[in-house]
Structure 1
């Protein structure tokens, strides 16, 4: 049975609307430092996002994603420092299921991050396109996506520094918009640590506890408190929504919500950001609706543990949840490979995006080649000959006169050549006799 994506929608409508206005004045292709931006992917709450080309030292080119941090954030020294610190922390996360951070810098007044480009969709975009075409997402592919995301989380949670000490990486924003899916069937998690940096500068909407004193000044809230509540409320664990310290189990909870929504075919929490934050604090998750999934009781048991309000009752790690899902997928005959998932995506969507991307990339290549060279005659006084006539006129007369004389001799030359040929033939004939 497939998963109905018709009620799953992107949770950033406002951000997209804001981005649409910015797109009206965004002329592409154009240069940005050493990158050539040729396609505007969109705008999030933190950055304008572009598809770009970057050249290597040996003259090769590769496609990358450039996130231009919004000026109001990039100009905040506190945010810039936290973003740089987090980017350094996750730059060494090299894993098949993690989007690689390639560069972090500043061009003019814009702070930017350059990341690996994944040719495909994020999970939100994929669900919208499936819904538009009335194509259900098969349950085996829904499980595959979550299993691959858990593999990324497990790797990041276990990452250690050079001294062997755990880095304590927590994603903090495991949600469909951060799950990237390539047309080859790859699933990659992006934006590790971004939510923490964002929270250090801009607090989540209405993220205060309900029992907080009304006369307390917002500015007295610590950076640590703001960073702990940053993220999308619809995918927060209860402890995350309350602004408590987090560990990897908060990401396990978020992955559980993604799995619940894919299996249920609808959003778990609905409402404004503040309303969803209040729901997240309670952590009350209803059972899956009956979707006719094989061994659904076993799947429900996995969700119950992943979505337990008490972190101590959850899977202790992403690896434990991954093992449970693997076992369920095998038992329910829902275990699929990346190749099968990639074929499903390519059959339905690849031509739509790739043709558009290639067209805009050709525009970027034209920009890199530079404008065409146009040869224009210089405007200057026309030179004259010693006779006083224009030089062009004098030259034309001379050329005409010299051309006329050889033309009058042409018949005589031809007659002479013919006589010589006849004479040679006679000599040859006499010799042969």
Structure 2
């Protein structure tokens, strides 16, 4: 059983953040009116997400949506990136990929309009499980990973309207981009940092590390290193493919199985950084430790470290993780479909072939109930609305 928070990233509290009412505003864009109701996520390490009601101005059409603030860049570049994300999402039609509807601008700030699925992010569930010292069941972890791998398999093979491969790589697969809905579905979210060969796409700046550095594949880091030397676009379809997402998903699966973020152990750190990170490299969001330290942890996470981290995992699941987390992409699963099939095969081997939505719902419900019973928690999850608000809990205690 886990005995502590599974990562320093999970020590973040919401103290000092604005209350719900400070995020109530309305605006019109195109044929719709947007009434922002509350924040969903406010944290410097991730995209700002707001829950809004979207109402058609002339039709009786209303739905809840998520407004994702495009905040890492400003001006024309922000609008261009929002437009590109919406264009790319137009080719992604899969039940395990969250939909993107449009982008809107309010007071000069662009927002991407995304599907809202009531539930929680996997990150939040990991946070709550650590809080109540609960280890997630193996079938749950494997099922979630298999569902995400299925979504990735589709995205990696996606083509445009002319049949040209888009070579999509998500680049930000992590617990905060995996959504668990209230009816037990699993959805991969937020392709805003994705690499693709979409016609007219904006090249990645040489000094910008896109995606989530905490779950980044080593070849992405090496490409950034090389780009600073040759002064060119750091990524091309020849240098990057879906195996980068397989590595990221492998880290997520290992975290679910062990209740520990795989790159946290101090034993992975050299006495001093193994290599200097190129000066001037920036990320889209802040990182919970220095980028140089994080990069060296990723680049040092070789076979020996993987075997040590997977010591509590039984074969043959351990072998699947070792293959998914190979530093050399050539040694990894060739496709996300192959990884998905092996994960599903493992579920058959352990008699969990029918593990599905009902079991996911039950697991989430148990963990949330246990966390809710721990009243007056020192830290609420970063995602709003999953647990009762801390102030409400205090009011209940006083009235009781």
- Shorter-normalised TM-score: what interval? 0.7 to 0.9
Contact 1:170/1:193, CA 8 A, preserved across alignment: no
Q: Which residue of 2 aligns with 1:385?
A: none
- Check 1:118–1:250 CA distance in 2 against 1; reply closer, same or farther (3 A cut): same
| Offset at residue 224 of structure 1 (A) | 4.0
Is contact 1:238-1:282 (8 Å) kept? no
Secondary structure of the 1:94 match is coil
Residue 225 of structure 1 pairs with residue 219 of structure 2 = no
Judged with a 3 Å threshold, the aligned counterparts in structure 2 of structure 1 residues 188 and 309 are, in CA distance, closer, same or farther, namely same
1:8 to 1, 6, 9: 6
Determine which structure has the larger helix proportion and give its number.
Answer: 1
Partner of 2:67: 66
Q: Distance in 2 between matches of 1:238 and 1:176?
A: 18
**Are the aligned partners of 1:41 and 1:51 in contact in 2 as well (CA < 8 Å)?**
yes
What's the counterpart of residue 138 of structure 1?
137
Look up the match of 1:41: 40
Task: Note the alpha carbon deviations across 1:104-129, whole angstroms, 9 max, x for none.
Answer: 12122111011111111111111111
- With structure 2 as the length reference, what TM-score do the two structures score? 0.72
Q: Deviations over 1:316-370 (max 9, x none)?
A: 110000011111111122431112211332455389757969xxxxxxxxxxxxx
Q: Is the 8 A contact 1:5 1:128 kept in 2?
A: no
Distance in 1 of aligned mates of 2:169 and 2:92: 12
Distance 1:5 1:113 in 2: 39
Q: Secondary structure at the match of 1:330?
A: helix
- Asked if 1:345 is matched to 2:364, the reply is yes
Pair 1:194 & 2:193 matched: yes
For the residues of structure 1 that align with 2:96 and 2:215, how far apart are their CA atoms? Answer: 20
RMSD of equivalent CA atoms: 2.9
| Gapped regions of structure 2 (runs ≥ 5) | 197-202, 225-233, 265-288, 373-384, 390-400
Q: Separation in 1 of the partners of 2:359 and 2:109?
A: 41
Would you say the 8 A contact 1:184–1:346 is kept in 2? no
The structure whose Rg is larger is: 1
Measure the CA separation in 1 of the matches of 2:299 and 2:332: 16
Describe the superposition over 1:183-234 as per-residue Cα deviations: whole angstroms up to 9, x where unpaired: 211111111132669xxxxxxxxxxxxxxxxxxxxxxxx844345x322222
2:54 matched to which residue of 1? Answer: 54
Moved more, 49-58 or 281-290: 281-290
d(CA) in 2 for partners of 1:103 and 1:131? Answer: 36
Residue 265 of structure 2 is aligned to residue 268 of structure 1:
no
* Of 59-68 and 340-349, the range deviating more from structure 2: 340-349
Aligned-partner Cα distance in 1 for 2:54–2:245 = 33
Q: Quick check: 1:170–1:251 contact (8 Å CA) kept in 2?
A: yes
Q: 1:23 aligns with which of 14, 18, 32?
A: 18
Q: Which residue of 1 is the match for residue 267 of structure 2?
A: none
Q: Does 1:286 align with 2:273?
A: no
- TM-score normalised to structure 1 length: 0.67
User: How many residues are matched?
Assistant: 322
Matched residues in 2 for 1:51 and 1:5: separation? 34
Deviations 1:25-55 (CA, angstroms, capped at 9, x unpaired): 9624321331111111122446431111112
Instruction: Give secondary structure in 1 for the equivalent of 2:159.
Output: coil
Report if the CA contact (8 A) 1:5-1:265 is conserved: no
Partner of 1:321: 339
Structure 1, residues 42-96: CA drift from partner, whole Å, max 9, x if none? 22446431111112443232111112233x6233x23432332233112331211
Q: The residue matched to 2:104 in structure 1 has which SS?
A: strand
- State the distance in 2 between where 1:10 and 1:105 align: 35
The 2-side partners of 1:239 and 1:40 are apart by 35
3-state DSSP of counterpart to 2:98: coil
